[in-house]
Amino acid sequence: MELIERYLQAVGFWLPNRQKDDIIAELSADIHAQVEEQETTLSRKMNQAEVEALLKKRGRPVLVANRFLPQESLIGPVLFPVYCFILKVVSLCYLVPWLLITIGLMIANPALPANQASPSWLTALATVSGHLWTAAFISFGTVTLIFAIMERVQARSNFLEEWSPSKLPPARNRNLIPRFSSSIEIAVNWVFLIWWAAYAHSSEILIGSSVRVSLHPQWSWFYWGYFILALCNATLAAANLLQPYWTATRATLRLLSDAVGAGLFCWLMKANILAGIFLPNVSPQRAMEVTQAINHWVAAVFPVGVIIAFVVAATDIYRIIRVKNA
């Protein structure tokens, strides 16, 4: 019967002191009653293997003890859905942008290991993932700690019980387009159009009286591209103002317009669009160096532009799917 004593001792280890003796005495009585009954049925003493099987069936000591303890949780069922929501927000609004910006900067910056010869890519990847884990650990850990504290405070004050249905946000139709945002969109596009037509129509731009910027001949493509795009966006916004809900057609048009805009923007970054800068008191050679440096840095940020374009396109595609499934 030494096995039974060992089992009871192992269960007792996990029990609080003030209840331990009582629970162990009752468990002991139960186990011994079961053993006696089986021995009566067998008409002999139980052997070691049979006692072991009996104890194993009762379960691991820590689990047996756990059933006697009050059920406790770090974050209870009331706060848990909010906790999960905040973790998703932290992931999407902090970790994902952080990762994208870090990757973009590593690709763009020649001083960083990502742009050096192999095997620096692996080193860079390891560095990024290391930083990501640290950022995730700190942000998730902080959120968990705050919610654990809220759980304790909530348990005492029941502040979550004090709520009113009339204070809930109004019911939301995700396919509805607020007229206010359509109005703003029309205004922004027309202001842009006027400014664009007034100042950007020529490939020679005069800034003040002495600084002249000369653009690549390709500039006319960008000028007319963005001009037409702004007109289309203003028209689409006007249609949205009259019929303030997304339809599959208008959602697809928005995708097309954003795709063209993003495509032009990415092309602009790679086009070495700045042909020359003419500054007073600056030698032509120095001005050329500045021009090349600006073109180089604009081109270097190209991956960030591509990432933003993909995010915008994904949002637009999601809107089309949502409208079609509505």
Partner 1 sequence: MNPDSFENLRLELRRGCLVLAVLAALRREQYGYTLRKTLSKHGLEIDEGTLYPLLRRLETQGLLASEWREEDKRKKRFYLLSPEGADVLKQLLSEWKSIDSAINTILKEHDHGTH
Residue numbers at the binding site for partner 1 (CB under 8 A): 23, 25-27, 29-30, 32-34, 58-59, 63-64, 67-68
Q: Which is nearer to partner 1, 8 or 277 (CB)?
A: 8
Q: Which is nearer to partner 1, 11 or 274 (CB)?
A: 11
The CA distance from 325 to 134, in Å, is: 39
Q: Which is nearer to partner 1, 37 or 289 (CB)?
A: 37
β-strand pairing of 211-215 with 204-207: antiparallel
Q: Which is nearer to partner 1, 34 or 203 (CB)?
A: 34
Other beta carbons within 10 angstroms of residue 74's beta carbon come to: 13
Distances (CA, A) of 97 to 88, 121, 206, 305: 13, 21, 37, 13
Instruction: For residue 287, give the amino acid letter.
Output: A
Q: Report, in Å, the least distance between residue 39 CB and partner 1.
A: 13
Helices (H), the chain: 2-13, 17-42, 48-58, 61-66, 80-90, 96-108, 120-157, 179-199, 219-242, 248-270, 284-300, 302-325
The CA distance from 53 to 120, in Å, is: 57
Q: Report, in Å, the least distance between residue 64 CB and partner 1.
A: 6
Q: Which is nearer to partner 1, 26 or 289 (CB)?
A: 26
Q: Report, in Å, the least distance between residue 52 CB and partner 1.
A: 17
Q: Containing H/E element for 274?
A: strand 274-278
Q: Report, in Å, the least distance between residue 324 CB and partner 1.
A: 31
Q: Which is nearer to partner 1, 60 or 174 (CB)?
A: 60
The CA distance from 7 to 77, in Å, is: 34
Q: Report, in Å, the least distance between residue 121 CB and partner 1.
A: 44
Structure tokens belonging to residue 307: 């990432």
Q: Report, in Å, the least distance between residue 174 CB and partner 1.
A: 32
